[in-house]
Structure 1
Amino acid sequence: MKEIYDAKKDPRWQQPVFDCEEFREIKGLDGKPLRYKYYHGTFVTEDEENRCVKFSFCFPLKEHYQGRFFQHLSPFPGPDEENAYFDRPALDNQIVFALTHGAYFVATNMGSKDPFKGGNSDATLLYQSSAAAAELSREIAQKEYDMGRPYGYVYGGSGGAYKTMSCIENTNAWDGGLPYVIGSPYALPLCLTISSLGKRVLRHRLPQILDALDAGGVGLAAIQSELTELEANTLEEMIGLGFPPRTWFMMQEGLMDDGAIPVIAPIVKAFDATYWDDFWQKPGYAGYEKAESATKDLVAFSSRIKKVTVGKEVQRENIGSNGTNDAFLKQLSKGSTSLIELEDVLEKEDLYILGLEFKILSGNAAGTSLTISAVQDNYILLGPTYGIDDLEAVVSQLQPGDAIAIENADYLAFQHYFMYQSVASAFAPYAYLNERHPNLPKRPVESVGPWIAQGGSGSVQDGQLQCKAIVVESLMDEFASPWQADWYRQLVNQQAQKQGMASDEMIRVWYMDRALHNDSVYDLGPQTVNYDGAVKRGLLALSDWVEKKIEPAPTTAYHLQGAQVLLDETADELGGVQPRIELVVNGLKHVHVKVGEKVNLQATIRVPSGGGQVVASRWNQTGQGQTTYGDHIREVCYGEEQLAVTALDSETYQVANQFIYDQPGTYFAVVNVITNPLPAGKRDRFLDVLNLDRVRITVDSCD
């Protein structure tokens, strides 16, 4: 019998010390101040490691409290994570959402100064300290409101999803959990490395690939002849391994980097120290066999420093943020504006910058390896580097004559690491890989993925939920392939059925099409929507499920094709909360028209049962415009919201528009549709759930 952790019985958490208790204000959606009571404190324990557990609570005024709390878990907790939520814009602010939806908000630093405890440290502290804060918050809430035990719901994305699953599988502190954009025990380094390898090998073919996949495109089969053997094989393998190929538009637009690879790669190196030489020196590995995927972009360059022009640290916004795409940045130094001039020019045709290491071989900083962000002739610019607290302090030690090397052999080896893991075929990508490459050498150590999962959350998922759960997963996730939500759902259902429960009695999975990994509400563009509204609706649905026994929306209708997740577009019950859209232009997905000719666009929208109603649409005439990414760019790619919506029945709607093009060219007209549980006049913008569709319009000259 599995032992379930009870924080109330743990003596480590019986002596909280509060250093702040005061009323504060935070701006709501309407710009007006929301008043709340703020608590901050620390658990005092005998051992120093547990003494670093800090927490903060934000309680709404009594008239706004409905008997629950929401607790968010960061992907990569830092020492002050409990206070990382206050400066976010209102629509993107977890505290504001909680205060305006009947809940108080709980946050902790999870007792860790590092994202992955690993090694000899006890990573269970991550979920145990979170449970301790949850239980302490209940004691305070009962005194504040003179009411009974509050219901509690924990949620988090990416690395925070691992922690959320660990919390709801191993403790009794919460009544529901919502992990989003989740991984499996083998997500790392698999998902990061297949993405990284694919975009490097296919970087010159992305326009053809994306055009074939886009509205009115010819499909991937039709462009096979345009690809080299390496490119064709890589594309096939990326799809077979579960990577969503539409996501590569981000690289074409300069928005896609390697994610957390700079943080994960050193962890894998510590776990499997001999791999990096084996890859290049032992038969069967792509490096030794001189496979084109390994050698094509190989760099091995040496020189000496000629001059160092000292600059300053790059000022990076959101350095302390806790989103799914930027929380790992806390583990990296900032970049540098110092310019390093070398005695020799790095001459390589089609140089691939990502993954280049600047290794210092002599001088005061000998033995240090730094990340390169730019190379121009014999000039080098350094980028954010893992394990370096002060990059400029290292740069200041460099002197003319110091020997250096620029290499990427380890980076190229890491991109192939997933191929040599020994993983059961129960995980869809490895079913594909084991069949396609049955004779590859396997690493002599156990697979690194579960070790990372254990170190980053305190446990490896077993599916033994102690409370209800809703999973929100993105279908265009560039860092956590969508098949993993299906894997977890099956795991939970297997455990539930052992207890005599029906399928999906404990869990729902809501897939979100056109959504990426990042959890900012401002992620929006002519290719993508955000999933934030689904997360917020999920929290409220969880509370109704637990507190009122109201069933949430069923799991999204989907099926697996290998490791690819495909929506069941014709299903009677769509499931989930996201609308499905079919946009046509003059009745088709692709039309040819003349300059000045009017085109008629019509979108038919199916809203899943209980998914609310269409409240507005937004249009983009060309498919161009800056993609909103993070908090830096607002919704510049769409026009004003249009409220004209035709309801065909309770779940089917239509919106329409007309465009005229005055220049020849190929355009992608886009409609972005917004649904909400409330009608337009009472709309709760926290609960907006979006989707989009595109059509292709080829405009010919009148000649």
Structure 2
Amino acid sequence: MIMPLSTYSGVFNDKQFNQPYIDIDEWRDDPVRYHYIHGGFTGTNARFSFFYPEASQYQGRFFHFMAPVQGSENAAVGRPGVENKIAFAVSHGAYFVETNMGVDQPFVPISDSTLIPRASAAAAEYSREIAQQIYGPHRPFGYLYGGSGGGYKTMILFENSAVWDGAVPYVIGTPMSIPYQFTVRAHARRILRHKMHLIADAVEAGGKGDIYAGLNQEEQDALREITRMGFPLRNWFMHRDLDDGSLPVLTPAVDLMDPGYYQDFWTVPGYLGADPDGSAVRDRIYYETTVAGVIMPGTSTEPVDTDTMSGVDEAWQRVRGDSVLAGKTWLRLEQMPAEDAYIYGTLLTVLSGEAAGLAVPLESLQAGAVSVGAGFGIANMAEMLQKIRPGDHVRLDNSDYLALQTYHRHQLPAAGYEPWDQYRDAEGNPLYPQRPAIIGTGLAASGCHKLQSGLFEGKMIVVASLQDEAAFPWNADWYRRLVRENKGGHEEDYFRIWYTDHALHGDLEHMPYEHHIVSYLGTLHQALLDVSDWVERGIEPPASTNYIVKDGQVSTPASAADRLGLQPTVQLWVNGGECARVKAGDKLHFTAVAELPAGTGRLVAAAWNFDGKPGFPIKGELASLNGDGCRAELSADYTYAMSGTYFATLRVQASRQGTADDIFTQIYELARVRVVVETA
């Protein structure tokens, strides 16, 4: 049994957090055996959870996770498979630390911007006190990590405290990421909503590559704008499911910090809304009507545990108003929007009846009805929706949501953010009217008191994704340049950056679009192990990924020897090219070369998918695998019986250990080719 200390004696001695207590002290066995300690600091809302391995497993370190959104100290509990942070830590000789960062609810105003850093540091130091009681006198090494919003926190805390010895921020943004990388995405989605499939086909394997073919001038301009802002071109493959991300959650920040913007957008020359011939005026919806019918989905039989929603793509969804519903709510209106109307984000406000005052976002228009969106922050949304009745008077208005979509044009930062240079003339002057203040930097600093400086002691590895749709890939390079500047141009003794190709923002084991996308969790976990080896044993990690940034797009070399980093490379051909046209029944020959940067492990597996159905059912043979396991050739023959367009995919797998035994450190890459099969 652990004895709570009467005072807190760590090197980070904070008077607000010097009276820790423990209210749970027990052994648990799921998914691995660990000693669970839960507690907090008296007189505060700060809570912590510590997960200690058995003494025989312990190697003198801890991994401390920073979730994107504060409010839960048990978000890691119950995560499946490779996503289980507790199992990863314990099985690799570390204890695991998670806190609510001093806040008991997500998305609540924090009056003290130093609260998150101080509460997190106090918990980390107190975990060391307990570790000494369990394992004997020593100072555990500590490693901080987190992604997206948790990446912001990781960088700020590591830069401004000596509590941790190393850090692994992942899929990170800059002070100019939110809300702008979502506003530009929303604008492009609206303008390009009828042409996104053309762009997707152009950038797909075997495509013609001309992304502007078939687009009018307005559409070309929107595509050029979002491309230069950094949205990865290859991501248009997911156009059917691409939404506006966390923009609805960030909208209140604009309402609060720049309330005059919406009026100016529609009235002041230089704003898109003030152009009578512009797309905003064309797509604007503003009218009143009555409800003709309500289709409610009923209440979900599987309540959502929002405390465990700690992933970078799900943390902000903890405040969904529709989380208790089993599906979408649909409304039929006496006067429906036009069939081609831009309905997404339109605010429907109930003006009469029992639900009067309820304002909910709309999402889509189908079969003569409009669907209600997630309703972020509307706590009683399901209850209020049930009160809507036919005959209730409602107003539809998308004015503010349209205005948000070009907000980034009026928020030019100082030098150092090249994607924003597209909004300046040749002399460097803004092309559009500018707002009184830049809210992005305020949002970035609001959680942890400061902005990134790039100045830190210790070691850091940044993990980034080349197809990150939320924190655009150049964001990680922005931080690298900041570090390089502070390290006198020699960051290699302190810093690495590893990009994962074909990876999105989300930190899931099983990513959607499995024939386009791989998970980066293997790279993330290996980075934590490598940064600990760097700190504790002086073993330098593999070199940073080689890449170039041009016009907002990040690209890497094709060969592993040139690309470096951790991820293998795959080059795939069908009948010698990226696209083959054959008759049904013709045999096709697929060849590939897989390579791994020297010294990063071995290739361990490969698998094929030829027809686009779920999974990778056909095992690939790693032929001609060289002595160090870093290069292999693969081949396969396949025949399509039916006409159609197919995309064949090869996925390869590598690991530092050279086996597939450690599920947490498997690193993947894939390649695709196009096959057009005509009727025989």
TM-score by length of 2: 0.93
**CA deviation after TM superposition for structure 1 residue 531, in Å:** 0.5
Partner Cα distance (2:663, 2:473) in 1:
26
Residues 309 and 476 (structure 1), Cα distance of their counterparts in 2 relative to 1, 3 Å cut: closer
Alpha-carbon contact 1:66-1:103 (below 8 Å) kept: yes
Alpha-carbon contact 1:301-1:346 (below 8 Å) kept: no
Question: Is 1:665 aligned with 2:644?
Answer: yes
Partner Cα distance (1:478, 1:275) in 2:
26
Runs of 4+ in 1 over 3 A off after TM superposition: 113-118, 290-293, 305-320, 335-343, 362-368, 373-381, 396-402, 435-444, 570-573, 640-645
1:137-173 deviation digits (Å, cap 9, x = unpaired) = 0110111011410001011111110111111011111
Alpha-carbon contact 2:11-2:125 (below 8 Å) kept: yes
Question: Is 1:609 aligned with 2:595?
Answer: no
Question: Is 1:95 aligned with 2:86?
Answer: yes
Alpha-carbon contact 2:271-2:433 (below 8 Å) kept: no
Aligned partner (choices 588, 595, 608) of residue 584 of structure 2: 595
Partner of 1:532: 521
Alpha-carbon contact 1:307-1:341 (below 8 Å) kept: yes
**CA deviation after TM superposition for structure 1 residue 577, in Å:** 0.4
Alpha-carbon contact 1:110-1:129 (below 8 Å) kept: yes
In the TM superposition, 1:557-596 aligns within 5 A as: 557-569=546-558, 572-596=561-585
Partner of 2:73: 82
Partner of 1:431: 421
Identity of aligned residues (%): 37
Q: Match of 1:521, as an amino acid?
A: E
Name the SS of the counterpart of 1:121 in structure 2: coil
Partner Cα distance (1:334, 1:305) in 2:
20
Partner Cα distance (2:454, 2:20) in 1:
32
In the TM superposition, 1:484-495 aligns within 5 A as: 484-495=475-486
Alpha-carbon contact 1:530-1:690 (below 8 Å) kept: yes
Question: Is 1:238 aligned with 2:226?
Answer: yes
Alpha-carbon contact 1:313-1:391 (below 8 Å) kept: no
Question: Is 1:126 aligned with 2:127?
Answer: no
In the TM superposition, 1:673-692 aligns within 5 A as: 673-680=652-659, 683-692=661-670
Alpha-carbon contact 1:593-1:699 (below 8 Å) kept: yes
Question: Is 1:65 aligned with 2:64?
Answer: no
Partner Cα distance (2:505, 2:471) in 1:
7
Alpha-carbon contact 2:423-2:431 (below 8 Å) kept: no
Alpha-carbon contact 2:364-2:371 (below 8 Å) kept: yes
1:172-196 deviation digits (Å, cap 9, x = unpaired) = 1101011100000000111111222
Q: Match of 1:181, as an amino acid?
A: V
In the TM superposition, 1:366-377 aligns within 5 A as: 366-376=356-366
Alpha-carbon contact 2:290-2:335 (below 8 Å) kept: no
Q: Greater shift after overlay, 316-325 or 480-489?
A: 316-325
Alpha-carbon contact 1:299-1:407 (below 8 Å) kept: yes
Q: Which runs of 5+ in 1 are unaligned?
A: 1-5, 28-33, 46-50, 626-635
Partner of 2:163: 173
Partner of 1:37: 35
Partner of 1:545: 534
Partner Cα distance (2:362, 2:197) in 1:
26
Partner Cα distance (1:614, 1:139) in 2:
41
1:262-318 deviation digits (Å, cap 9, x = unpaired) = 110111211110101111111110001135432343222311235556663456756
Q: Match of 2:272, as an amino acid?
A: A
Alpha-carbon contact 1:493-1:506 (below 8 Å) kept: no
In the TM superposition, 1:499-538 aligns within 5 A as: 502-523=490-511, 525-538=514-527
Residues 115 and 449 (structure 1), Cα distance of their counterparts in 2 relative to 1, 3 Å cut: farther
1:226-269 deviation digits (Å, cap 9, x = unpaired) = 111111111111111111021122223x3x22211111011121
Partner Cα distance (2:507, 2:552) in 1:
23
Partner Cα distance (1:338, 1:228) in 2:
34
**CA deviation after TM superposition for structure 1 residue 505, in Å:** 2.2
Partner of 1:31: none
Partner Cα distance (2:413, 2:112) in 1:
25
Residues 440 and 349 (structure 1), Cα distance of their counterparts in 2 relative to 1, 3 Å cut: farther
Query: How many aligned positions are there?
Result: 664
Question: Is 1:653 aligned with 2:653?
Answer: no
Partner Cα distance (2:259, 2:270) in 1:
18
1:392-412 deviation digits (Å, cap 9, x = unpaired) = 232345455442111211111
Alpha-carbon contact 2:294-2:329 (below 8 Å) kept: yes
Q: Greater shift after overlay, 123-132 or 362-371?
A: 362-371
Partner of 1:48: none
Partner Cα distance (1:352, 1:94) in 2:
41
Name the SS of the counterpart of 2:339 in structure 1: coil
**CA deviation after TM superposition for structure 1 residue 664, in Å:** 1.9
Alpha-carbon contact 2:607-2:616 (below 8 Å) kept: yes
Question: Is 1:389 aligned with 2:379?
Answer: yes
Aligned partner (choices 179, 193, 215) of residue 227 of structure 1: 215
Partner Cα distance (2:391, 2:59) in 1:
68
Name the SS of the counterpart of 1:429 in structure 2: helix
Q: Match of 2:284, as an amino acid?
A: L
Q: Greater shift after overlay, 557-566 or 108-117?
A: 108-117
Name the SS of the counterpart of 2:597 in structure 1: coil
Partner of 2:312: 324
Name the SS of the counterpart of 1:183 in structure 2: coil
Alpha-carbon contact 1:325-1:517 (below 8 Å) kept: yes
In the TM superposition, 1:173-572 aligns within 5 A as: 173-220=163-210, 224-252=212-240, 254=241, 256-290=242-276, 292-306=278-292, 312-314=298-300, 317=304, 319-320=306-307, 321-334=309-322, 336=325, 344-376=334-366, 379-398=369-388, 401-435=391-425, 438-497=429-488, 502-523=490-511, 525-569=514-558, 572=561
Partner Cα distance (2:277, 2:604) in 1:
53
Q: Greater shift after overlay, 644-653 or 381-390?
A: 644-653
Partner Cα distance (1:211, 1:398) in 2:
43
Name the SS of the counterpart of 1:161 in structure 2: helix
Residues 643 and 225 (structure 1), Cα distance of their counterparts in 2 relative to 1, 3 Å cut: closer
Partner Cα distance (1:397, 1:112) in 2:
33
Partner of 2:151: 161
Residues 318 and 533 (structure 1), Cα distance of their counterparts in 2 relative to 1, 3 Å cut: farther
Partner Cα distance (1:140, 1:571) in 2:
44
Partner Cα distance (2:105, 2:260) in 1:
25
Question: Is 1:15 aligned with 2:19?
Answer: yes
Partner Cα distance (2:303, 2:167) in 1:
32
TM-score by length of 1: 0.90
Question: Is 1:108 aligned with 2:99?
Answer: yes
**CA deviation after TM superposition for structure 1 residue 568, in Å:** 2.6
1:97-129 deviation digits (Å, cap 9, x = unpaired) = 0010000000001112455566x7112211211
Alpha-carbon contact 1:305-1:401 (below 8 Å) kept: yes
Partner of 2:6: none
Q: Match of 1:667, as an amino acid?
A: Y
Q: Match of 1:696, as an amino acid?
A: R
Q: Match of 2:651, as an amino acid?
A: N
Partner of 1:628: none
**CA deviation after TM superposition for structure 1 residue 453, in Å:** 0.5
Residues 290 and 439 (structure 1), Cα distance of their counterparts in 2 relative to 1, 3 Å cut: farther
Partner Cα distance (1:134, 1:393) in 2:
41
Partner Cα distance (2:329, 2:658) in 1:
56
Q: Match of 2:40, as an amino acid?
A: T
